[in-house]
Structure 1
């Protein structure tokens, strides 16, 4: 309709009307582009909010994993102190069994993984740019690079000090595996990383694991207490280093979670 009007005005050489019609067309196109841009921007902000909310959920799960890691390392570190006390001072009838259970428990280690499906999606889809605050975007990227480095520290400690040092020492010394017993040890193993199940109970109820014989006397290559204590010092060391590393990761996770909350308006007060 506008085009027909312009042609009609042109034939009649009505230049003022032509100018008005042209201005209407230009303004209409401009407004259409602006509305389209506003809609696109609003869609981006909704997508950003959805992504950041999902990322918050991932960080909360990561925080739970890290807290479990801290609890595990603290338990293992304190257990080293308990078994050393048994070696040095305890002379009760259950001393050998308790030492055996403790030494066996210390062969366990925990692998920490801080996975975020949301961050993987943001990276793989190229949607990181949808996060409007460039500083927040940089913090998110830096956080996940930082977590990979801290995970590598814990992995290396576990492989070198536990898998390749403590476990072979236990095996080569002929020291047997023993099931954990809360009542015997006087320490409650956290439920979140306790192995359970009917088959496990069946295995540990057998005579192989119920033996009350002396710990070192029956071990084919039984060491003196000095090498055992040396291994315990390294086992305590790796537990302490891993716990400290996990604490750093917990601080970084909490900080990023708070930063995202402030961006979304859930927590306006800085921490």
Structure 2
């Protein structure tokens, strides 16, 4: 139909009509491309927002995990302090020390393992760039690529020192069969106290990082994502 019209215009030498038809076709093609691109961008944004919803839930789960971890680590720190104080008594109450040591055996010093699967998926699929708030993208990247990398380092050091101290101090000076304190001199007692103090200090350092650096960063990002989702997924 269109080709016949072009041919007729040429035969009639109706160049104005010919150019007009060409212009109409070009406008139609252009509008189709623009609408297609707009629709693709809208689909990409919706997909990114959906993934951001999952990331938001990951953040909330991580904050709950951090709360539990900090509570458990605080219990360990407090009990280590009790042990140090008990070992400062003269004479040392062996039964009390054994009781506290048994408590230490069942306490945990968990490390934080953040959920990174959704973030990695958004990064690999290019969904982060489809978020309309570039400051939010920067904050997300900073948390996962910087803060959580620092957490990996701190948690490794905390675990390594914790295991070394347990091996070289507390377990060295206790008979695990009957919970007897194997201390033969004041020097050994001092080494045990120093080891426990070091264990407490390293654990407290990691806990401080989680409480004062990582958790506030998670809370701040959680609020920003929540605000973004309310604005961009209102329908």
TM-score of Structure 1 vs Structure 2, range by shorter chain: 0.7 to 0.9
Unaligned runs of 5+ in 1: 177-207
- Of 183, 188, 193, the residue aligned with 1:229 is 193
Tell me the residue number matched to 1:78: 78
Tell me the residue number matched to 1:6: 6
Q: Tell me which moved more, 125-134 or 143-152.
A: 125-134
Q: Deviations along 1:73-122, whole A, 9 cap, x unmatched?
A: 2111111222234444698895244133144346x432321132111112
Tell me the residue number matched to 2:163: 163
Tell me the residue number matched to 1:255: 220
| Distance of 1:152 and 1:122 partners within structure 2 | 24
- Of 258, 261, 264, the residue aligned with 2:229 is 264
Counterparts of 1:1-271 in structure 2 under 5 Å? 1-88=1-88, 95-105=96-106, 108-145=108-145, 146-160=147-161, 162-176=162-176, 211=178, 215-216=180-181, 219=182, 224-247=188-211, 248-265=213-230
Secondary structure at the counterpart of residue 118 of structure 2: helix
Q: CA RMSD in A?
A: 2.7
Paired residues, number: 228
Give the deviation of 1:169 after TM superposition.
1.6
Change (3 A) 1:7 1:221: farther
Q: Tell me which moved more, 38-47 or 130-139.
A: 130-139
Q: Deviations along 1:185-213, whole A, 9 cap, x unmatched?
A: xxxxxxxxxxxxxxxxxxxxxxx5xx5x6
Higher helix fraction (1 or 2): 2
TM-score, scaled to structure 2: 0.84
Give the deviation of 1:173 after TM superposition.
2.4
Change (3 A) 1:261 1:226: same
Change (3 A) 1:164 1:137: same
Unaligned runs of 5+ in 2: none
| Distance of 2:153 and 2:184 partners within structure 1 | 34
| Distance of 1:32 and 1:54 partners within structure 2 | 33
Equivalent pair of 1:44/1:130 in contact (CA under 8 Å): yes
